[in-house]
Amino acid sequence: MVANVERRREPRMQANCSVKIFDPASRRYAAGVTRNVSTTGALIELHRPISIPTGEAVGVVIDYTNCAGAINQGDFSAATIARREFGAGQRLVAVHFVCPQQTPTAAAA
């Protein structure tokens, strides 16, 4: 697999925001932090690994209110797990939003 291959159709914005992924099957949340977001998806570093398989439907809540790099209202968004990377101290999950999201705006000085 080639590293750093761009998979998203929309531009990404670096953002360090609190996030939770909701697994409907287990009815549990997994907390983490976004690495970047776009209107069509997000790359999330989780605090602990999850057992949700690729392609599974999940809910995502991103808190843009106290987020370095973005200002927006956090909402519950339907998404699917696009890929997972666990190992070597990383717990990364890429999610694809079912409906495109409003792009967060850059923080004003």
The rounded distance, in Å, linking the Cα atoms of 38 and 97 is: 9
**4 domain-assigned:** no
Query: How crowded is residue 10: how many other Cβ atoms within 10 Å of its Cβ?
Result: 13
Q: Pairing state of beta strands 41-46 and 57-68?
A: unpaired
One-letter amino acid for residue 21 of the chain: I
The pTM for the full model equals 0.79
Q: Which residues pair with 93 in a beta bridge?
A: 44, 84
**31 domain-assigned:** yes
pLDDT, residue 69, reads: 57
What range defines the domain where residue 30 resides? Answer: 13-97
**Residue 38, C-beta contacts closer than 8 angstroms, at least 6 positions apart:** 8, 10, 11, 12, 13, 103
pLDDT band at 8 (very low <50, low <70, confident <90, very high): low
Residues 52-78 have a mean pLDDT of: 79
| CATH of residue 76 | 2.40.10.220
**74 domain-assigned:** yes
Residues 12-25 have a mean pLDDT of: 90
pLDDT, residue 100, reads: 77
Residues 22-44 have a mean pLDDT of: 92
Residue 104 has pLDDT above 70, yes or no: no
**6 domain-assigned:** no
**56 domain-assigned:** yes
Residue among 33, 43, 56 nearest 4 (CA): 43
**61 domain-assigned:** yes
The rounded distance, in Å, linking the Cα atoms of 86 and 69 is: 25
Contact 34, 15 (CB under 8 A): yes
How many structural domains are present in the chain? 1
